[in-house]
C-alpha cells in the first residue's frame, strides 16, 4: 500500500464518524421537510410519499417571506455600516503612526470580548430609552457596533500585507493621498473587504439573542427568531414546515460560505501569523 | 512616514497643514470608535449602575443598595449550581473541541483522497446558524418521533425510545456535544493556519536524522502549534462561555433550571422573573470573569513574545 492510500484510510477512519454526526442534522432537515403532515410524527426514516410542495406551502405557513426580507435588510445594512467605519480605522492602524494606537487596539479587544449577551440588559435599556424597541434600526446599529472589532482586526491584518511602495510611487507621480488610496490601495484591498463583508453578513444573519430581546412583534422578526418562535412554547409544531424553512434559510448561506471559506482561512492565517 | 519633521517647518501655513495631517488618523478611527463606544460602553455603565441599586421590574432605580444584589445571588442555590455548571460546560466544550480538532487538522493538512470533500464537511457547521442547528437537534431528539431514536433502534443500539431532553442527565451531555460540533470548524481553521507556518524542510531534516513520524509529531509539530492552541483555547473559552442558543433552544435551561448556564440564567432573571438587579449583578460577574480570561491571555502572549 502506498503512503497516500494509507493516509486516506487513517483520515477517513477519523473524519468519517465526525462527518456522520455533522451531516445527521442536514439529513433530518431534508427528510422531515419532505414528509407529508400525516407522516411527520411517524418515526420511520424515509417519507413514503415525498412532498416537494412543502417548500412552497412552508412559505405561507411559517411567514417565511417577511422574515427573509427582515434578515436581508438587517444583515445588509449592518454589514455596510460596520465595513464603512472599519475600513478607515483599519487603514489608520495599518499605515499611520499615531498616539493612542495601543489604547484603540485594547478598546477593540475589550469590545470583542464583551458579547451581546453580557450587555443585553443594558442594551435593552438603551434601545428602550431611545424609543427604538422593535425597530430594525436598533438591530442594525447594535450588530454593526459588535462587528467593528473583528472587521477592523481582519482588515488591518490584510492591509498590512499590501506593499506600501505602490502608494508611495503614486505620491511621487504627484497623486494626492486620497487619489492614491482610491486608485491604488482600494482596488488591491477589495478582496479583503469582500471577505470581511461576507463574514460580517453571516454573523448578523445567524444572530439570535439580541433579535430575541430587541424585536418584539412578528412583523420585525428575523429568520432565526421566526423559526424559533414556531418551535418554542407551541402545542402543535408543524415540523415538516419548520424543517423546510430551516433548510431554505441555511443552504444558500452555507454554499456561499463554503466557497469563500478558503479566503477566510488565508485571512485568519495572515492575521494570526503576521 | 516621518510626520515628525513637519514640526520644524516655520511658516504658519505648513504648521496648520502638519496639524491637519496629525488629525487624519484620529478622524479615520473616529466613526468606528464612537459607534462601538456608545453601544458597548454605555450599556456597561447602565448595568453597573443597576447592579448597585434596588430596582423595580422595569429597571427603574429605587435607591442605592450597595452589594445587596450580589449578596442575594450568593444565597441563591440555583445561581451557585449554575456557576458550577457553566464551568463544566466551558471546560467540556473547549476541551472536547481541542481533543478532536488537533487530529482533524493534522489529517486535513496531509494529502489524501477526498480531502476537499472532508474539508467542506468539517467546515459546514460554521456557516449554519447555531440557532437552526439547535432547532433541528431539538426535533431529532424528540422522544417519541425523533429520528435519533429511530436511527438508534434501527441500528440495534437501543431497544426503546429515550426521552433525551426531559432530564439534565441526558440533555446536558448532548448540549455539550453539539457545542463541540459547532466549535470544531473555527478551531481547525486556526490549527491549519498554524500548520501551514511550519517549514517543510524541518521535517525533511528530521527524517534524514531518522526520526519516526511519531517523534516528529511530538518534537516538531505540537510545539510549533502551541501558540495557536493558546489562541484557539482563549477565543473558544470566551465564545462558549457566552453561548446562548444551544441551551436556550433545546431546554431553555430546564427542566427546573437543571441545564442553565450563566447566560441563560441571566436572560431568565432579566426577562422572565423581572429580577433586574440580580440580572445586572450576573452581567457584572460575567464581565469580571471575561476580563480575567482576556488579561491572562494578553499576559501569556506577551510572555511568549518576550521569550522568542
Question: How many Å lie between the alpha carbon of B207 and the closest alpha carbon of chain A?
Answer: 15
* Domain presence at residue B57: no
- CB-based contact, B112 to chain A, within 8 Å: yes
Report how far apart the first and last C-alpha atoms of chain A are (Å, whole number).
40
Which CATH number covers residue B165? 1.10.3720.10
- Same-domain status, B13 and B88: no
CA closest to A257 among chain B residues = B127
pLDDT, position A137: 93
* Domain presence at residue A171: yes
* Domain presence at residue A9: no
* Domain presence at residue B64: no
* Domain presence at residue B70: no
Give the helix/strand (H/E) hosting B54. Answer: strand B53-55
* Domain presence at residue B63: no
* Owner of C-alpha cell 499611520: A96
Nearest to B107 by CA among A261, A16, A14, A3: A14
- Same-domain status, B263 and B214: yes
Q: Where are the alpha helices (DSSP H) in chain A?
A: 3-34, 37-40, 54-61, 64-95, 101-113, 116-129, 136-159, 165-172, 177-180, 186-206, 209-214, 223-229, 239-273
- Same-domain status, B161 and B29: no
- Same-domain status, B84 and B24: no
- Same-domain status, B276 and B129: yes
Whole-number Cα distances in Å, A162 to A97, A157, A176, B42, B194: 17, 10, 19, 36, 21
* Domain presence at residue A55: no
B14-55 pLDDT tens trace: 777 777 778 889 999 999 999 999 998 889 999 999 999 888
Quote the ipTM score: 0.85
Is residue A269 over pLDDT 60?
A: no
User: Residue B27: which domain range?
Assistant: 3-51
Is residue A232 over pLDDT 90?
A: no
pLDDT, position B218: 84
Please count the structural domains in chain B.
2
Is residue A273 over pLDDT 50?
A: no
- Same-domain status, B18 and B112: no
Is residue A270 over pLDDT 60?
A: no
* Owner of C-alpha cell 453580557: A118
- Same-domain status, B198 and B135: yes
* Domain presence at residue B60: no
* Domain presence at residue B61: no
- Residue B156 CA to residue B23 CA, distance in Å, equals 71
For residue A95, what are the contacts with CB-CB under 8 A and spacing of at least 6?
A159, A164, B1
Q: Is the dihedral of CA A206, B184, B189, A14 positive or negative?
A: negative
- CB-based contact, B193 to chain A, within 8 Å: yes
Residues 242-271 of B with CB under 8 A from A: 242, 244-245, 248-249, 252, 263, 266-267, 270-271
Neighbours of A197 (CB within 10 A): 17
Q: Is the dihedral of CA B146, B183, B266, A200 positive or negative?
A: negative
Is residue A221 over pLDDT 90?
A: yes
* Domain presence at residue A197: yes
Please count the structural domains in chain A.
1
Nearest to B261 by CA among B70, B85, B73: B85
Per-residue confidence band for A262, with pLDDT thresholds at 50, 70 and 90: low
What is the percent of chain B with per-residue pLDDT over 90, rounded to a whole number? 38
CA closest to B301 among chain A residues = A272
What's the CA angle centered on A8, arms A6 and A11, to 5 degrees?
110
* Domain presence at residue B109: yes
Nearest to B90 by CA among B233, B298, B281: B233
CA closest to A46 among chain B residues = B147
A135-175 pLDDT tens trace: 999 999 999 999 999 899 889 888 888 888 888 888 888 88
Per the model's pLDDT, the better-predicted residue between A80 and B274 turns out to be A80
- State how far Cα B137 lies from the chain centre: 21
Q: Where are the alpha helices (DSSP H) in chain B?
A: 12-51, 68-75, 77-108, 115-127, 130-140, 147-154, 168-196, 200-208, 213-216, 222-241, 245-250, 262-271, 276-307
B93-108 pLDDT tens trace: 999 999 999 999 999 9
Q: Which of A10, A120, A160, A267 to mutate to test the interface with B (most CBs of B within 10 A)?
A: A120
pLDDT, position A271: 52
- Same-domain status, B31 and B167: no
pLDDT, position A268: 59
* Domain presence at residue B210: yes
Is residue B60 over pLDDT 70?
A: yes
* Domain presence at residue A39: no
* Domain presence at residue A97: yes
At A217 the three-state DSSP class reads coil
User: Residue A175: which domain range?
Assistant: 68-273
Report residue A95 as a C-alpha cell: 499605515
* Domain presence at residue A231: yes
Which CATH number covers residue A175? 1.10.3720.10
A71-114 pLDDT tens trace: 999 999 999 999 999 999 999 999 888 888 989 988 888 888 88
Is residue B229 over pLDDT 50?
A: yes
- Same-domain status, B39 and B81: no
| Rounded mean pLDDT, A217-237 | 86
Nearest to A271 by CA among A117, A112, A116: A112
- Same-domain status, B32 and B166: no
The predicted model scores a pTM of 0.86
CB-CB contact of A217 with A37 (8 Å)? no
- Same-domain status, B287 and B150: yes
| Rounded mean pLDDT, B62-91 | 91
- Same-domain status, B101 and B164: yes
Average pLDDT over chain A reads: 86
| Rounded mean pLDDT, A3-27 | 90
Amino acid at each position: 500500500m502506498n503512503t497516500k492510500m494509507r493516509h486516506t484510510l487513517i483520515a477517513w477512519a477519523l473524519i468519517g464518524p465526525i462527518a456522520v454526526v455533522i451531516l445527521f442534522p442536514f439529513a433530518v432537515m431534508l427528510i422531515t421537510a419532505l414528509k407529508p403532515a400525516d407522516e411527520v410524527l411517524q418515526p420511520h426514516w424515509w417519507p413514503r410519499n415525498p412532498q416537494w410542495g412543502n417548500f412552497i406551502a412552508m412559505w405561507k405557513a411559517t411567514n417565511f417571506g417577511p422574515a427573509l426580507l427582515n434578515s436581508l435588510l438587517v444583515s445588509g445594512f449592518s454589514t455596510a455600516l460596520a465595513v464603512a467605519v472599519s475600513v478607515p480605522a483599519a487603514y489608520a492602524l495599518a499605515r499611520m503612526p499615531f498616539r493612542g494606537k495601543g489604547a484603540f487596539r485594547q478598546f477593540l479587544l475589550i469590545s470583542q470580548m464583551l458579547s451581546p449577551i453580557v450587555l443585553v440588559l443594558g442594551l435593552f435599556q438603551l434601545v428602550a430609552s431611545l424609543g427604538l424597541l422593535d425597530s430594525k434600526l436598533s438591530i442594525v446599529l447594535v450588530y454593526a457596533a459588535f462587528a467593528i472589532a473583528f472587521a477592523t482586526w481582519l482588515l488591518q491584518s490584510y492591509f498590512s500585507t499590501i506593499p506600501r511602495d505602490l502608494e508611495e510611487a503614486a505620491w511621487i507621480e504627484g497623486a494626492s493621498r486620497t487619489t492614491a488610496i482610491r486608485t491604488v490601495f482600494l482596488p488591491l484591498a477589495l478582496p479583503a473587504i469582500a471577505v470581511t463583508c461576507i463574514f460580517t453578513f453571516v454573523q448578523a444573519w445567524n444572530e439570535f439573542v439580541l433579535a430575541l430581546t430587541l424585536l418584539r412583534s412578528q412583523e420585525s422578526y428575523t429568520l432565526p427568531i421566526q423559526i424559533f418562535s414556531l418551535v418554542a412554547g407551541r402545542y402543535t409544531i408543524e415540523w415538516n414546515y419548520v424543517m423546510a424553512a430551516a433548510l431554505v434559510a441555511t443552504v444558500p448561506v452555507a454554499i456561499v460560505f463554503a466557497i469563500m471559506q478558503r479566503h477566510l482561512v488565508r485571512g485568519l492565517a495572515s492575521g494570526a501569523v503576521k | 512616514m516621518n510626520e515628525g519633521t513637519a514640526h520644524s517647518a516655520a511658516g504658519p501655513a505648513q504648521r496648520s497643514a502638519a496639524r491637519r495631517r496629525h488629525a487624519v488618523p484620529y478622524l479615520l478611527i473616529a466613526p468606528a470608535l464612537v459607534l462601538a463606544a456608545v453601544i458597548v460602553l454605555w450599556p456597561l455603565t447602565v448595568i453597573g449602575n443597576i447592579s448597585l441599586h434596588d430596582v423595580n421590574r422595569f429597571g427603574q432605580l429605587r435607591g442605592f443598595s450597595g452589594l445587596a444584589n450580589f449578596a442575594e445571588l450568593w444565597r441563591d442555590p440555583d445561581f451557585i449550581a449554575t456557576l458550577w455548571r457553566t464551568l463544566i460546560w466551558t471546560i467540556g466544550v473547549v476541551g472536547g473541541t481541542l481533543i478532536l480538532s488537533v487530529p482533524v487538522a493534522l489529517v486535513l493538512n496531509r494529502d489524501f483522497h477526498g480531502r476537499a470533500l472532508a474539508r467542506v464537511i468539517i467546515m459546514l457547521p460554521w456557516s449554519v446558524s447555531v440557532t437552526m442547528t439547535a432547532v433541528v437537534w431539538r426535533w431529532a431528539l424528540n422522544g417519541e418521533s425523533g429520528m435519533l431514536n429511530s436511527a438508534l433502534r434501527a441500528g440495534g443500539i437501543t431497544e426503546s425510545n429515550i426521552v433525551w431532553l426531559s432530564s439534565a442527565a441526558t440533555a446536558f451531555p448532548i448540549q455539550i456535544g453539539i457545542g463541540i460540533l459547532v466549535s470544531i470548524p473555527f478551531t481547525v481553521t486556526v490549527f491549519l493556519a498554524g500548520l501551514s507556518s511550519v517549514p517543510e524542510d524541518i521535517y525533511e531534516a528530521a527524517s534524514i536524522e531518522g526520526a519516526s513520524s511519531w517523534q516528529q509529531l511530538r518534537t516538531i509539530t505540537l510545539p510549533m502549534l502551541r501558540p495557536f492552541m493558546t489562541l484557539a483555547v482563549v477565543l473558544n473559552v470566551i465564545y462558549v462561555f457566552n453561548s446562548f442558543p444551544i441551551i436556550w433552544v433545546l431546554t431553555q435551561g430546564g427542566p427546573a433550571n437543571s441545564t442553565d448556564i450563566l447566560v441563560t440564567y441571566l436572560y431568565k432573571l432579566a426577562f422572565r422573573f423581572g429580577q433586574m438587579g440580580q440580572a445586572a449583578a450576573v452581567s457584572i460577574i460575567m464581565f469580571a470573569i471575561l476580563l480575567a480570561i482576556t488579561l491572562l491571555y494578553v499576559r501569556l502572549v506577551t510572555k511568549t513574545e518576550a521569550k522568542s
